[in-house]
Chain A
Amino acid sequence: GAGVSQSPSNKVTEKGKDVELRCDPISGHTALYWYRQSLGQGLEFLIYFQGNSAPDKSGLPSDRFSAERTGGSVSTLTIQRTQQEDSAVYLCASSLKLGEAGELFFGEGSRLTVL
């Protein structure tokens, strides 16, 4: 696609429910990143992928968070048993190749509200 696409753009859920957030990166971009941005805050690094592999999962806030990437393309961030503190905008970015200096292309984010 022309840019990084994220869905849903908005998600309201009840505490305790599971949610899935999807990221479709720019075609040909092998590196993919997930960040979380709480209201008025900076970007909190969650995880990155090179191809389908996630070498560093240390940024995931708890074991309720998981992410996968299939076919070197689409990635899904799953939050199980959501809590109110999970409310934030989840941003996905892709870049041409991990291991080389280059710009990150961001999607518009998925705004998650946990009631």
Chain B
Amino acid sequence: SQKIEQNSEALNIQEGKTATLTCNYTNYSPAYLQWYRQDPGRGPVFLLLIRENEKEKRKERLKVTFDTTLKQSLFHITASQPADSATYLCALNSGGYQKVTFGTGTKLQVIP
């Protein structure tokens, strides 16, 4: 069966450190993968998109990698800040581009 797995346990890190979140998928062949941030009581907000032919994508303090052999994406936040505390969701397409499926998310807590 198809699965998108993210670490269900909350990730607690110290301010200033690099946070690394993992997204593993099974039985998908996505053309692209996205990462979103969700704050409590709010809808998800898009952060980054990486295509299958891209190994790495960066945006300010964010970096995403995409390994189609391992079927894994890593999401890094460098120099983390308390304001980065949120739930982070990975999403990938299936059925062509048409259906976008989300993982369960990982809650990140950055401790001052």
Contact = CB atoms under 8 A, between A and B. Distances in A.
Interface of A: 4, 33, 35, 41-43, 45, 48, 50, 55-56, 91, 93, 98-109
A42 B105 contact: yes
Interface stretch (B68-76, B78-86, B92-100): B92-100
From DSSP, what is the main secondary structure of chain A's interface residues? loop
A52 to B, nearest CB: 15
B100 A33 contact: yes
B43 A108 contact: yes
B104 interface: yes
Among the interface residues A55, A103, A107, which one has the most CB atoms of the partner chain B within 10 A? A103
B98 A101 contact: no
Contacts of B96: 99
B104 A41 contact: yes
B34 interface: yes
Given A42-B105, A91-B43, A109-B43, A104 B100 contact: yes
A55 B98 contact: yes
